[in-house]
Amino acid sequence: MRSAAGPQPTRLVGAGLALPPFCTTDKLQGQGKPSPYETRNVFGKTKQVARPPASWERRKMVHQKQFSLRTTGQGDMHDITHEVAAAVTASNIQAGTVNVFNIGSTAAIGTIEFEPGLQQDLPAILNKLIPPSRSYGHEQAWHDGNGHSHLQATLLGPSLTVPIAEGKLVLGTWQQIFHLECDVRGRQRTVMVTVMGDK
């Protein structure tokens, strides 16, 4: 029992956890135990904070994987569900999310029922909404013929987040992940897959 006048516990930043001052890092390390402290940069200041339990470190994970695909030009759609599912399986994440991102500003990612009708319909409706024939500021500045490609890709968005449950993508039976080329020429595309969650 510590007397009222004795050493007071040290309050550690971040965890609200009080440890007695005699419980030093060195002592614990000398006993072959991991230190309960770690040095971290907190808003520009170096501080001693309570180390998260080792079990957290093992369970909380982020996995990143890239894959590439070759497109033939505007309107070329690829079903990339298999590649994304493979990254999720390899990560061993059981519950969380996966983010799928096209690197580059003239292609899009989303979900669709991947069948020939919709593979025609989606590029066709984009060309009606944002036709190649219209005059665009991008074209006047760069003369590269793909002002509509940038706008179509931005409208659909470059990324998609899909939930993961029981180690698998949560998708409907008729819901696949697509990559859509919006640029006027074939491109070599890189897709970044980031899997986050608990193992």
Q: Whose CA is closest to 75, among 122, 15, 131?
A: 122
Based on the shown chain and the rule CB under 5 A, indicate whether residue 91 belongs to the binding site for Zn ion.
no
Task: Pick one of 74, 146, 152, 176: the residue that binds Zn ion (CB under 5 A).
Answer: 146
Task: Pick one of 61, 114, 144, 156: the residue that binds Zn ion (CB under 5 A).
Answer: 144
Residue reference for tokens 């990339």 = 80
Question: x/- contact string, 25-44, with Zn ion (CB under 5 A)?
Answer: --------------------
Q: Using the minimum distance from each CB to Zn ion, give the nearer residue, 128 or 143.
A: 143
Q: Using the minimum distance from each CB to Zn ion, give the nearer residue, 91 or 146.
A: 146
The set of residues, in sequence order, having a beta carbon less than 8 Å from that of 75 and lying 6+ positions away, is 123, 124, 127, 180, 181
SS3 (DSSP) at 189: strand
Based on the shown chain and the rule CB under 5 A, indicate whether residue 152 belongs to the binding site for Zn ion.
no
Based on the shown chain and the rule CB under 5 A, indicate whether residue 119 belongs to the binding site for Zn ion.
no
Cα angle 86-92-94, degrees, rounded to a multiple of 5: 105
Residues that bind Zn ion (CB under 5 A): 144, 146
